[in-house]
């Protein structure tokens, strides 16, 4: 039987209240000022609490000062939502219980509302233990995980300085409530986004020999790029390259060969050498393909929003295995869980300080896991009891690491 401490179970109504408030008020983008304000309000006027809120893009830091000197252990929650409109289905919990998003095209569809509620609740609960612990518990409420590298902003604001270990969790619909997934080393992939712009001589569709045909160049490049994965990278290396954007010409002028065309995509890997190789080959293929089509076809490639691989520290993972096995049965604790080609900007924090990201199951035990909706979906409907396990995980880590033991 999985065990959750009584003080966490007793706090469940508050946990749900935090989650539901944040869920109803999603904020998208690099800054979440209203969420920060709400989180801050939960910790005002308490002794032994230090609140740091310098600039919105670097989020909010709450320090809980314990009884004696010791290490600082940090816990991170991302707070941002996505540009999605929440389902109107009456079966969706947020509609049934009337806490659905108050805004069209904004929704907490990645579970960051749960993450934030877990971190607030953990802070409120562990606060009561501060006199029995040493050191400092740092709560990192991070903005802009979804493409804005908010974690990097927190690192640059020096919030990880003097932190000994940092931990984070992510909701995971492929696991059931009460299950935890964990892995040593690379757990989430790196993500690189690229935009390829091709420019040259436009012309009349009847005389392609007088133009440099940017559309033919772009379409050839897109086909050729897949050969990187199949011919240039070992089959043993996990990776993906996808094109998600293409634009050229004017649909009202189908007889015109445009002077420019562009496309963009993403590639993801678990290995920095593979990542480097894909980037190099992408440039070679695009430039050579352009040349093959026409000498006047010019290529310009932009890279943006790169997140590195999320690499869990092996020592920290071993410690988590020991801590989690105190309240999770063996069959529910997955110690070498499947890595994901999704990306996480917590990677920036793990480059700075050793620690680990782990996954908590959000799928209700009475649902078919194969049919459960994954993240970034307008019908994502996590079981709120999953938050109990998130809070228990953080609480057990804090009690273990700040209780006169050194990791
Ligand atoms: Zn997420």
Q: What is the pLDDT of residue 306?
A: 84
66 C-beta neighbours (distance < 10 Å), count: 24
Cα–ligand 1 centroid distance for 78 (angstroms): 7
List residues bridging with 358 in a β-sheet.
Answer: 169
Rounded to the nearest integer, the mean pLDDT of the chain is: 95
Spatial distance between the Cα atoms of 262 and 324, rounded to a whole number of angstroms? 49
Predicted local confidence at residue 18, as pLDDT: 98
Residue 146 alpha carbon to ligand 1 centre in Å: 7
The yes-or-no verdict on residue 318 having pLDDT over 70 is yes
C-alpha of residue 77 to centroid of ligand 1, in Å? 10
Cβ–Cβ contacts within 10 Å for residue 205, how many? 12
Q: What is the mean pLDDT of residues 381-389?
A: 96
Ligand 1: centre distance to CA 202 (Å): 43
List, as one string, the DSSP characters of 180-219.
EE--SEEEE-EEEEEEEEEE---EETT-GGGS--HHHHHH
User: pTM for this structure?
Assistant: 0.90
**pLDDT number for residue 372:** 75
pLDDT of amino acid 403? 86
The enclosing H or E element of 302 equals: strand 298-307
What are 152-184's pLDDT values in tens digits? 999 999 999 999 999 999 999 999 999 999 999
> Ligand 1 centroid vs 99 CA: distance in angstroms?
20
Q: Is 286 helix (H, G, I), strand (E, B) or coil?
A: helix
Distance 345 CA to ligand 1 centre (A): 9
pLDDT over 90 at 193, yes or no? yes
Q: Report CA(22)–ligand 1 centroid distance (Å).
A: 15
Residue 1 pLDDT greater than 70, yes or no: no
How many angstroms is it from 110 CA to the middle of ligand 1?
5
Stretch 319-323: mean pLDDT, rounded? 97
Rounded to whole angstroms, the Cα distance separating 127 from 141 reads 16
Residues 228, 278 contacting (CB under 8 angstroms): yes
Q: How far is the CA of 380 from the centre of ligand 1 (A)?
A: 12
Residue with structure tokens 């994954």? 374
Q: What is the pLDDT of residues 58-98, one digit of tens each?
A: 999 999 999 989 999 999 999 999 999 999 999 999 999 99
CA of 113 to the centre of ligand 1 (A): 10
**CATH domain 190-307 topology:** Alpha-Beta Plaits (3.30.70)
Measured in Å, residue 232 CA sits from the centre of ligand 1 at 31
pLDDT at 304: 82
Neighbouring-strand partners of residue 78 = 142
Domain ranges within the chain, ordered by starting residue: 6-187+309-401, 190-307
CA 175 to mean position of chain CA atoms: 17
Residue 341 CA to residue 360 CA, distance in Å, equals: 17
Q: At what angle do helices 272-293 and 214-227 cross, to 10 degrees?
A: 150
> From the CA of 172, how far away is ligand 1's center (Å)?
9
Residue 258 CA, ligand 1 centroid: distance in Å: 39
Give residue 269's Cα distance to chain centre.
15
What is the structure's pLDDT at 76?
A: 98
DSSP conformation letters of 89-128: -TTSHHHHTT---SSTT-B--SSHHHHHHHHHHHHHHHHT
DSSP, res 340: B
CA dist 382 to 112, 136, 166, 360, 367, Å?
Answer: 11, 31, 25, 11, 11
DSSP conformation letters of 373-394: --SS-TT----TTHHHHHHHHH
Kind of pairing between the strands at 310-312 and 68-78: unpaired
- Spacing, Cα 83 to ligand 1 middle (Å): 13
Q: Are the CB atoms for 397 and 327 separated by under 8 Å?
A: no
Residues found in the chain: 407
pLDDT (mean) for 361-385: 86
* pLDDT score of 406 more than 50: no
Answer whether residue 353 shows pLDDT above 60: yes
The CATH code for residues 6-187+309-401 is 3.40.630.10
Give the Cα separation of 72 and 137 in Å (integer): 6
* pLDDT computed for residue 407 by the predictor: 43
The answer to whether the beta carbons of residues 317 and 326 sit under 8 Å apart is: no
What are the distances in angstroms from CA 86 to CA 102, 196, 385?
A: 9, 33, 21
For residue 326, give Cα distances in angstroms to 320, 387, 397, 400: 10, 18, 11, 11
CB 183 within 8 A of CB 172: no
| pLDDT tens by residue, 207-222 | 999 999 999 999 999 9
Backbone angles phi, psi at 186, to 5 degrees: -65, 120
């Amino acid at each position: 039987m999985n065990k959750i401490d009584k003080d966490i179970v007793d706090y469940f109504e508050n946990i749900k209240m935090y989650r539901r408030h944040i869920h109803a008020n999603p904020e998208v983008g690099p800054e979440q000022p209203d969420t920060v304000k709400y989180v801050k309000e939960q910790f005002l006027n308490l002794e032994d609490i230090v609140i740091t809120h310098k600039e919105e893009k670097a989020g909010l830091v709450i320090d809980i000062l314990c009884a004696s000197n010791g290490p600082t252990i940090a816990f991170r929650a991302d707070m941002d939502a996505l540009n999605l409109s929440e389902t109107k289905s009456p079966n969706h919990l947020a509609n049934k219980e009337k806490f659905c998003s108050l805004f069209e095209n904004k929704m907490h569809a990645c579970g960051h509302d749960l993450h934030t509620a877990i971190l607030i609740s953990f802070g409120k609960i562990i606060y009561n233990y501060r006199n029995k612990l040493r050191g400092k518990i740092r709560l990192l409420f991070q903005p802009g995980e979804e493409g804005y590298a908010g974690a990097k902003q927190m690192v640059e604001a020096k919030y990880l300085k003097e932190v000994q270990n940092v931990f984070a969790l992510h909701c995971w619909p492929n696991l059931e409530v009460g299950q935890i997934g964990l892995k040593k080393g690379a757990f989430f992939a790196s993500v690189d986004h690229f935009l390829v712009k091709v420019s040259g001589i436009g012309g009349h569709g009847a005389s392609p020999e007088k133009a440099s045909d940017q559309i033919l160049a772009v379409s050839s490049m897109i086909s050729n790029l897949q050969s990187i994965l199949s011919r240039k990278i070992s089959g043993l290396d996990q990776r993906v390259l996808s094109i998600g954007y293409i634009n050229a010409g004017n649909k009202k002028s189908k007889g015109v060969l445009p002077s420019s065309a562009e496309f963009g995509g993403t590639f993801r890997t678990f290995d920095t050498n593979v990542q480097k190789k894909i980037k190099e080959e992408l440039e070679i293929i695009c430039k050579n393909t352009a040349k093959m089509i026409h000498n006047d076809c010019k290529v310009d490639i932009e890279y943006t929003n790169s997140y590195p691989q999320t690499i869990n520290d092996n020592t920290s993972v071993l410690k988590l295995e020991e801590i989690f096995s105190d309240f999770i049965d063996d069959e529910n604790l997955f110690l070498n869980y499947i890595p994901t080609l999704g990306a996480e900007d917590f990677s920036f924090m793990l480059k700075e300080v050793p620690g680990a990201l782990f996954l908590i199951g959000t799928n209700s035990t009475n649902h078919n896991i194969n049919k459960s909706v994954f993240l970034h979906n307008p019908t994502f409907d996590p079981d709120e009891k999953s938050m109990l396990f998130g809070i228990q995980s953080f609480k057990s880590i804090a009690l273990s690491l700040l209780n006169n033991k050194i990791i």
